[in-house]
A and B are shown apart, each in its own frame.
Chain A
Amino acid sequence: MSDIAIVDIIKPENLVYEKTKLMTDKTLSYCPGCGHGTAHRLMMEVVGELGQENDTVGVAPVGCSVLAYEFMNVDMQEAAHGRAPAVATAIKRLWPGKMVFTYQGDGDLAAIGTAETIHACNRGEQIVIVFINNGIYGMTGGQMAPTTLPQMKTSTSPYGRDIQTMGNPLKITELVAQLPGTYYVTRQSVQSPAAARKAKRAIKKAFQNQLDGKPGLSFVEIVSNCNSGWKMEPVQSNEWMEENMFPYYQLGDIKVDGKLL
């Protein structure tokens, strides 16, 4: 084996995977094991495959992914916490020929930005919202999110989320699916190659809807981990997510082609 040179291995016919063209060379700022990076990559693969590199504008508001513009190699706007759907609304209305997406965390989309989320969905803005639900505020150090599970411990629910006083985890994705303005609503995950492949198909469908001028907003939730916020090893966090998050946030399509399933 030792006499096989590296040049013998790196041949086009042996290539099974390569760096996503539309990801920059910047080292990701995410914690090792975090799902954000995978979600970024899938989205940029889709934008590339749809040939939209030069016609896409992304909006990433405050949250761990506030620096998404460092990694996604398309035109990007960084938005205020919670306001990405409003920002994206104007971009799309003023540039109807461009593909516009937001990339938001659960605190961003389902707490501070609830109004913007609901109303962009309700107006049926022709944009794509990618919603990373990790059940916690990652960026600010692990506080309770609207999506935090009952009894889940966070830095602001140190004894576990008490639903009597702290409310129930918000299934905002089911909520927006009820609005006539949404055209495609789905919940995915990216913790394994199989899951990532499925998620990519969903993301592609969402962007394709926009390209085809389908009436309404396409909404892709990705249930993801926050191993740092959850204070777990990456592998353990994914197992915990499968065991605890998935039963509450059930994966799969919720609304397709404007019809609730």
Chain B
Amino acid sequence: MGELRLMKGNEALAEAAIRAGTDGYFGYPITPQSEVIEYLMAEKPHERTGMVVLQAESEVASINMLYGGGGTGKKVMTSSSSPGISLMQEGLSYMAGGEIPCIVANIVRGGPGLGDIQPAQSDYFQSVKGGGHGDYRLPVLAPASVQEMSDFVPIAYELAFKYRTPVLIVSDGLIGQMMEKVELFDQMPRLTDEEINEKYPWGTNGKPKGQERRILTSLDLDPHKLEKHNFKLQEKYRTIEENEVQYELIDCEDAEYIIVAYGSSARISQKAVQLAREEGIKVGILRPITLWPFPKNAIDELVVGGVKGFLSVEMSAGQMVEDVKLTVRERTKVDHFGRYGGVIHSPEEVLEALKSKIIGG
């Protein structure tokens, strides 16, 4: 059993960053996630593990610090919230193109624009469809508890280095700010420089003696070569889609209706399911843990199994619902419910929507 602590989601993420052997965290304050860098600065991780923590001049700088550091083979991470993540999109596109591993956590708040500082899930499109320019995808993990804010950090690093890609942890202000009991995993050692060079020979950290120099770039002026590079990236994305889907099924064995929900919405929907079942409505939850790759097969199996309707519950005007619809392909009813702009829906509202939009609708 690991160490138990009562922590905010943001603090759990920060502590997990230290324990996962992060070499460098680069970030810029923004509500509702400033606790991440505040916790890291207070913790003096340099004394604990040698980890570097730096407050950058902007999110543009933070993401490019990740580009530089990640490009040398080090484990690097940043966190921000929606407007800051928008500023990072050019950098993320460069990192996808240059195949640089890193973790970017987005503690989503209401938008568009400056929006507000309340929880939201309206960055789904930006997270799973690309976000920046060019043809690319990023694996997206969606924690639904403070525990998962911690647990998903090492998982994200594993994916990031296995596939040489940035990985997003997409949470929201509710999970970032709320306090829960969390069991922390034990400290993992940071890799030594020698270990990094052995494991990641692509890292540009000084040309090895007697060997060719390493180059990190996302540029190729020859369109045919760039197309080839894109083929390679697409092949990688297919592999990720085949192997890395993660989801959770809650009360789905006998379910006639399914709520599809991630993060905070999945937590709220659990209460809605309880209320529904008290009324004899058989409803379950499919919780995507990876937003990309999206659990298409799981939804497909539920459709084939005879589910009568899906309600996508998200704190957005309806984004993930498009992916649910793409998978269901009109074989059964699909609709969306969600409050947004920083408003959190209640379990009662979710149940009401299920009744009006799916069961009765």
Closest residue of chain A to B193 (Cβ to Cβ) is A95
Asked whether any CB of chain A lies closer than 8 Å to the CB of B90, the reply is yes
Task: Verify B193–A83 contact, CB threshold 8 A.
Answer: no
A91 and B57 in contact (CB under 8 A), knowing A53-B207, A78-B215, A78-B217?
Answer: no
Asked whether any CB of chain A lies closer than 8 Å to the CB of B48, the reply is no
Closest residue of chain B to A29 (Cβ to Cβ) is B221
Chain A residues in the interface with B (C-beta under 8 A): 53-57, 59, 66-67, 69, 73-80, 83, 86-91, 93-95, 98, 115-116, 118-119
Complex partner residue of A57 from B56, B205, B208, CB under 8 angstroms: B205
Would you list which residues of chain B between 65 and 114 have a CB under 8 Å from chain A? 65-69, 71-72, 74, 76, 90-91, 94, 98
A83 and B67 in contact (CB under 8 A), knowing A75-B214, A91-B72?
Answer: yes
In the complex, chain B residues whose CB is within 8 Å of the CB of A79: 64, 67-68, 94
Asked whether any CB of chain A lies closer than 8 Å to the CB of B219, the reply is yes
Closest residue of chain B to A116 (Cβ to Cβ) is B61
Which residue, B56, B62, B76, has most C-beta atoms of chain A within 10 A?
B56
Task: Verify B57–A90 contact, CB threshold 8 A.
Answer: no
A91 and B64 in contact (CB under 8 A), knowing A75-B205, A83-B91?
Answer: no
A80 and B90 in contact (CB under 8 A), knowing A73-B213, A89-B68?
Answer: yes
Asked whether any CB of chain A lies closer than 8 Å to the CB of B216, the reply is yes
Task: Verify A57–B72 contact, CB threshold 8 A.
Answer: yes
Chain B residues in the interface with A (C-beta under 8 A): 23-24, 26, 52, 54, 56-58, 60-62, 64-69, 71-72, 74, 76, 90-91, 94, 98, 193, 204-209, 213-219
Closest residue of chain A to B91 (Cβ to Cβ) is A80
Closest residue of chain A to B61 (Cβ to Cβ) is A86
Task: Verify B69–A94 contact, CB threshold 8 A.
Answer: yes
In the complex, chain A residues whose CB is within 8 Å of the CB of B74: 94-95
Sample of 20 more A-B contacts, CB < 8 Å, known A80-B64, A86-B68, A87-B65: A54-B208, A54-B209, A56-B207, A73-B207, A75-B213, A75-B215, A76-B204, A77-B68, A77-B216, A86-B56, A86-B61, A89-B54, A90-B65, A90-B76, A93-B69, A94-B24, A115-B57, A115-B61, A118-B57, A119-B56
Can you list the 6 inter-chain pairs with the closest CB atoms, starting with the nearest? A87-B68, A90-B69, A78-B217, A90-B65, A83-B64, A90-B68
Can you name 27 A-B residue pairings with CB atoms under 8 Å?
A53-B207, A54-B207, A55-B206, A56-B207, A57-B206, A69-B217, A73-B207, A73-B213, A74-B213, A77-B68, A77-B71, A78-B216, A79-B64, A80-B67, A80-B90, A86-B62, A86-B65, A90-B24, A90-B64, A91-B71, A91-B205, A94-B52, A94-B69, A94-B72, A95-B72, A95-B193, A119-B57
In the complex, chain B residues whose CB is within 8 Å of the CB of A86: 56-57, 60-62, 64-65, 68
In the complex, chain A residues whose CB is within 8 Å of the CB of B216: 76-78
Task: Verify B57–A116 contact, CB threshold 8 A.
Answer: yes
A66 and B219 in contact (CB under 8 A), knowing A79-B64, A83-B60, A91-B68?
Answer: yes
Complex partner residue of B60 from A54, A98, A115, A118, CB under 8 angstroms: A115
Which residue, B69, B206, B218, has most C-beta atoms of chain A within 10 A?
B206
A233: min CB distance to chain B, Å? 27
A149: min CB distance to chain B, Å? 29
In the complex, chain B residues whose CB is within 8 Å of the CB of A83: 60-61, 64, 67, 91
Whole-angstrom CA separation of A67 from B68 in the bound complex: 17
Task: Verify A76–B213 contact, CB threshold 8 A.
Answer: yes
In the complex, chain B residues whose CB is within 8 Å of the CB of A55: 206
Closest residue of chain A to B221 (Cβ to Cβ) is A67
In the complex, chain B residues whose CB is within 8 Å of the CB of A54: 206-209
Whole-angstrom CA separation of A90 from B204 in the bound complex: 12
Whole-angstrom CA separation of A116 from B90 in the bound complex: 15
Whole-angstrom CA separation of A89 from B65 in the bound complex: 7
In the complex, chain B residues whose CB is within 8 Å of the CB of A91: 68-69, 71-72, 204-205
Task: Verify A76–B215 contact, CB threshold 8 A.
Answer: yes
Complex partner residue of A95 from B26, B76, B205, B219, CB under 8 angstroms: B205
In the complex, chain A residues whose CB is within 8 Å of the CB of B54: 89-90, 93
Closest residue of chain A to B209 (Cβ to Cβ) is A54
Complex partner residue of B64 from A53, A67, A69, A87, CB under 8 angstroms: A87
In the complex, chain B residues whose CB is within 8 Å of the CB of A69: 215, 217
Which residue, B54, B62, B64, has most C-beta atoms of chain A within 10 A?
B64
Whole-angstrom CA separation of A90 from B24 in the bound complex: 8
